[in-house]
Amino acid sequence: NSHLVLAPARDASQDGLLTVDEVRDLDLQKTDLVVLGACESQQGAVNRGDDLIGMSRAFLSAGTPSILASLWVIKEDVAEYHMLQFYHFLLEEKAAKVDALRLAQNETRKKYPDPRDWAAFVLTGDPGPSRTRQQPPAAAAGSNVSPQARRPPNAFYVSPSSAAGSAACPSRAAG
């Protein structure tokens, strides 16, 4: 069963797992974009009807029109750079989501030419313009501002560093 492993709660009230069923129960009608920056977050299981059951489908069922997720393990520094570029083009340059992804891939490819680095993220759902046009905190796209600080207020973001098992992602990606 697909799930995200999040940092454990400070008390025992949460198990740290966000399951497909829990996501489906969320009301994300006002969420414009879900970004799953954690490793292999686009992965899912294929059911008998050849339908991919995974986190992206669960977020779509919960009401968000767009999901950006990774197909494979990606180094954390590359993922952060890519997200900074993506949010720069989405929010500051006012590009449509699909165009922001393409432009972010192009910029990431300049610094990290290996396709395993720049091609890991895919957009599922609505490729059009973001409903959020709020300016992010003032900073250059290449600055040391985390993607969390630059994301739009109606976006849900899970980064590699916010997932409990993420320490393995950078080391697995290095090989």
* Residue 153, both tokens: 């207020």
Report the pLDDT averaged over residues 138-152: 41
Q: Given the DSSP bridges, would you call strands 121-125 and 66-70 parallel, antiparallel or unpaired?
A: antiparallel
- pLDDT of the residue at 11: 75
- The confidence score (pLDDT) of residue 53 equals 58
Total-model pTM: 0.70
Instruction: Pick the closest to residue 39 from 168, 175, 149 (CA basis).
Output: 168
Residue 149 has pLDDT above 60, yes or no: no
Nearest-angstrom CA–CA distance, 121 and 100: 12
pLDDT at 41 over 50: yes
* Cα gap 134→51, rounded to integer Å: 36
pLDDT tens-digit readout, 77-113 = 999 999 999 999 999 999 999 999 999 999 999 999 9
Q: Is the pLDDT of residue 128 over 80?
A: yes
pLDDT for the residue numbered 118: 92
